[in-house]
Structure 1
Amino acid sequence: MTKVARLDEAAGHKAVWPGSALQKVVIVHDFANAQLGAGATRSALDTALALRQRGVEVEFFAAAGEPDAELLEAGVRVTTLGQADIRRNRSRAKAALQGFWNGDAAQALEAVMRACDLDRTIFHVHTWSKALSPSILPLLTRSGVHSVFHLHEYFAACPNGGFFDYGSLSICERTPLGASCLTRQCDSRSGKVKAWRVARHTVMRRLAHYPDRAKAFVLLSKTQRKALEPYLPGDARMVEMRNPIAVSKEPRQPRDAQARYLFVGRISKEKGLGVLVEGFADSQEALLVLGDGPDLEWLKAQLPRAEFRGWQTKQEVQAAMRSARALVFPSLWYEGMPMVVLEALACGTPVISSQASSAKEVLVEGATGLLFDHTATGALARARDILADDAMAETMSEKAYAAYWAQPCDMGRYADATLALYEDMLNGGETRQ
């Protein structure tokens, strides 16, 4: 059943400044609530909030979750179907059908579209793979609809969404749907799930004609663009844009000699948990872990003397960052552009990152952080030892803080870049970056 929530002040709101072609933005995302998703959900919500700060009329369309309080307080109209996402659906059969083709989502989105002036509306699509399904894609890519697809992951090209082989815990370089892809069990759960993902990917490409008919994409990093561009339509707009992070500029805290190292994020194997365990085997007490995920109990068993605080609010995460020795980011896969790394730099916290992910694009080796080879035994421990030097930790903290705030990824800059893209799309421009 569709639920619609909004503040009275948002009703009938006509956004836009004189001369703008833009009237309204519809954010399309699997989840309507921050607690149901990770970085992509935070980005989707922040997009809505950044636009509302500029006076734009915004509607948020989602399949799962109750309307987020932040959206309602900002005057965003929220339409949610009240469905479970496919991982939380108790019926595996219903979850499989929903993820394959969610007819209710397509019907509800079509109703939203009928109420819009399509000539002056932008549909900003964040994710669809967790609840909405490929069913919405034909609507969003048809002629006369202005849609931009924000690529937080790799589902536009890769059936499992990550260009990552969970069996070998390594980046996958196979051709999607090629013979070696079809015969490899690379899924994080089972061969049956991999087969289902391949079937859904085939439907996405052949029935929904995605990404072939899409006309605009937001990519988060050069790393992501390099991996995805061969599989995206050559005539589409492609804009590289980092997601905004909501962090206040507070005075930098000096690095305390007793401060712990910090791991923040989804606790699953592709995030480099094995590397984390090996790197802190002899100093577990020096590690603080914030987050949740399918491998939480495994990690607790491997590092019983580390401290685990579970899921935290962004304010609690940033408070921990401000006093941490360094953020440890041992991810094994490309990532898009990890927001947690940008948050750490904004808090004056050096980052120790693997060379695998796009985090390397925002770190200055030896200045704002350290990069290590995650395939080399002892590499994380050696990087940690460098930051054990108090003077080095303090110098890196100062440089990390200065580098971020010299060019912050704040909501204002993000809103400017996003609105410029929208206007270009509505006016028929040919943005390429």
Structure 2
Amino acid sequence: MRIVILNDFAHVEGGASQVALSSARALAGRGHQVMLFAGVGPVSPDLEGIEYLEVVCLGQQDILADLNRGRALIRGLWNDSSGSAFREAMRRFDPADTVVHLHTYTKSLSSSVVRAALDCGFRMVLTMHDYFSVCPNGSFFIYPTQTLCPHTPMSAACLGTQCDTRRYAHKLWRVARQWTQEHRGRLPSGLHEFISISDVSERILRTYLPAGARVHRVPNPIAVPHEPPAHPDEHATFSFVGRLSAEKGPQLLAACAAKHNLPVRFIGEGAERAKLLEMLPEAEFTGWLNGVETRKALRASRALVFPSLWYETQGLVVVEAAAQGLPTVVPSESAAREWVEDGLTGLIFRHGDAEDLAEKLLFLRDHPDSAAAMGTAAYQRYWQKPATMEAHCERLEAVYVRMLEQGNGGLR
């Protein structure tokens, strides 16, 4: 079996890229012939010199970073050069024993690679790391109002709503991309196989997938050492880990902390940093930390706070916190809530409700023994069935084998 992995980036740019690249390495390590096909370099050094792993990187630019804005606008809709290069690369392979696995495509490759794979008869599966396969802005979230979107994608209500982070003109460009993706790229209508990573994201997306689509559950892996659990009762600081952008909800945490004098640590960077610093000047801002430093900071916390305002698709840092023995406070509408048993391994607050969030944080502040007990329960629950790369690859292999045995990976 040959496995072709499609991803915008040949280096780790975010959580989805981390999964794509790490699975490429691991699958090659299990003896599969793997090709990683990416649009944007540089190629991560840890992809080089691996037996059975071939890396094809087009050396293109992320459309967000491309100074040639005209080219970026066109390639964002349909990157013809990516599609042509992918067709050429796949000429060597036999569709009968090759699986194409799509991870990310909106920042460089575009849906042109999907159409190329389908036209050439290859079986394809998409991991739904986000909502871009059906939603123009990829999140079912109205950014100007900071609210969840209730509209059907591409409906009249959707088209009339300014949900973009920038301006309505950019929303219309996203609509054009979505139309092109569906009608020219045949995504998602041309695919039969999908991978979901949470109940919440699957419930939202399944409605818009083609009839007869098969959805496989393959949780994302995490790489954490099996260390003794942390001691959250010995620390007072509440930690936030992630991009400091409005939809992630850091301002909700800052407001609670300012009102109730709670110590907070923000691990990450983003556009909201200046506003957060103004709201909570006494907070600790670490910027982005590497994996070891992040784990160290989490272990020196009372709890992880994950106040995201949008649905998310998994919330990987919540799983990482559990693996360290740390309780987490999550919103009721987030996919991350699937990893928290309310009152046992963490606490769930009403989505977007600052007062309810404050109540949960004050409880953990005032009851260190409860925080410790929740952390221990989260730790035990995680390590009973850890999200290892080995388990991830075994599930992927089962999906790939089923695709090749049943055929018809793309709808004709």
TM-score scaled by length of structure 1:
0.90
Size of the alignment, in residue pairs?
407
2:12 aligned with 1:40? no
TM alignment of 1:140-159, pairs within 5 A? 140-142=117-119, 144-159=121-136
The equivalent position to 2:237 in structure 1, one of 241, 260, 266, is: 260
**CA contact 2:233–2:371 (8 Å) conserved in 1:** no
Residue 46 of structure 2 is matched in structure 1 by: 70
The amino acid across from 2:400 in the alignment is: Y
**CA contact 1:256–1:323 (8 Å) conserved in 2:** no
The equivalent position to 1:56 in structure 2, one of 23, 32, 43, is: 32
- What's the C-alpha RMSD, in Å, of the aligned pairs? 1.7
2:266 aligned with 1:289? yes
Residue deviations 1:130-186 (CA, integer Å, cap 9, x gap): 111122121123362011101101111111111111121111110111111111100
TM alignment of 1:346-385, pairs within 5 A? 346-385=323-362
Residue 418 of structure 1 is matched in structure 2 by: 396
Report how far residue 39 of structure 1 moved: 1.1
Task: Please give the alpha-carbon distance, in whole angstroms, between the structure 2 residues aligned to 1:292 and 1:140.
Answer: 37
- Identity between Structure 1 and Structure 2 (%): 38
Residue 88 of structure 2 is matched in structure 1 by: 111
Task: Please give the alpha-carbon distance, in whole angstroms, between the structure 2 residues aligned to 1:366 and 1:143.
Answer: 52
The equivalent position to 2:317 in structure 1, one of 340, 347, 355, is: 340
The amino acid across from 1:42 in the alignment is: Q
When residues 297 and 91 of structure 1 are mapped into structure 2, their CA distance, relative to the original with a 3 A threshold, is farther
Residue 13 of structure 1 is matched in structure 2 by: none
**CA contact 1:424–1:430 (8 Å) conserved in 2:** no
When residues 68 and 95 of structure 1 are mapped into structure 2, their CA distance, relative to the original with a 3 A threshold, is same
Residue deviations 1:44-96 (CA, integer Å, cap 9, x gap): 12221321231222221111121112222544322111122111112222211
2:286 aligned with 1:319? no
Task: Please give the alpha-carbon distance, in whole angstroms, between the structure 1 residues aligned to 2:272 and 2:104.
Answer: 23
2:203 aligned with 1:199? no
The amino acid across from 1:367 in the alignment is: L
Residue 396 of structure 1 is matched in structure 2 by: 374
**CA contact 1:141–1:215 (8 Å) conserved in 2:** no
Residue 18 of structure 1 is matched in structure 2 by: none
Structure 1 unaligned regions, length at least 5: 1-21
**CA contact 2:312–2:335 (8 Å) conserved in 1:** yes
Q: Which is worse superposed, 358-367 or 368-377?
A: 368-377
Q: Secondary structure, in 3 states, of the residue corresponding to 2:81? A: helix
When residues 430 and 132 of structure 1 are mapped into structure 2, their CA distance, relative to the original with a 3 A threshold, is closer
The amino acid across from 2:5 in the alignment is: I
Report how far residue 283 of structure 1 moved: 5.7
Q: Which is worse superposed, 24-33 or 306-315?
A: 306-315
Q: Secondary structure, in 3 states, of the residue corresponding to 1:217? A: strand
The amino acid across from 1:405 in the alignment is: W
Report how far residue 326 of structure 1 moved: 0.9
Q: Secondary structure, in 3 states, of the residue corresponding to 2:48? A: helix
Q: Which is worse superposed, 241-250 or 265-274?
A: 265-274
**CA contact 1:86–1:130 (8 Å) conserved in 2:** yes
**CA contact 1:147–1:216 (8 Å) conserved in 2:** yes
The amino acid across from 2:10 in the alignment is: A
Task: Please give the alpha-carbon distance, in whole angstroms, between the structure 2 residues aligned to 1:168 and 1:430.
Answer: 42
Task: Please give the alpha-carbon distance, in whole angstroms, between the structure 1 residues aligned to 2:274 and 2:8.
Answer: 27
Report how far residue 293 of structure 1 moved: 2.4
2:402 aligned with 1:427? no
**CA contact 2:233–2:369 (8 Å) conserved in 1:** no
Q: Which is worse superposed, 158-167 or 294-303?
A: 294-303
Residue deviations 1:9-56 (CA, integer Å, cap 9, x gap): xxxxxxxxxxxxx1x21110111111xx22111111222132123122
The amino acid across from 2:240 in the alignment is: F
TM alignment of 1:139-288, pairs within 5 A? 139-142=116-119, 144-282=121-259, 286-288=263-265
Q: Secondary structure, in 3 states, of the residue corresponding to 2:7? A: strand
Report how far residue 295 of structure 1 moved: 2.5
Task: Please give the alpha-carbon distance, in whole angstroms, between the structure 2 residues aligned to 1:386 and 1:357.
Answer: 21
Report how far residue 285 of structure 1 moved: 6.5
The amino acid across from 1:163 in the alignment is: F
The equivalent position to 1:129 in structure 2, one of 106, 120, 130, is: 106
**CA contact 1:330–1:352 (8 Å) conserved in 2:** yes
The equivalent position to 2:4 in structure 1, one of 12, 20, 26, is: 26
Report how far residue 344 of structure 1 moved: 0.6
Q: Secondary structure, in 3 states, of the residue corresponding to 1:387? A: helix
Residue 11 of structure 1 is matched in structure 2 by: none
Structure 2 unaligned regions, length at least 5: none
**CA contact 2:123–2:408 (8 Å) conserved in 1:** no
**CA contact 1:331–1:356 (8 Å) conserved in 2:** no
Task: Please give the alpha-carbon distance, in whole angstroms, between the structure 2 residues aligned to 1:260 and 1:65.
Answer: 38
Q: Secondary structure, in 3 states, of the residue corresponding to 1:198? A: helix
Task: Please give the alpha-carbon distance, in whole angstroms, between the structure 2 residues aligned to 1:237 and 1:142.
Answer: 20
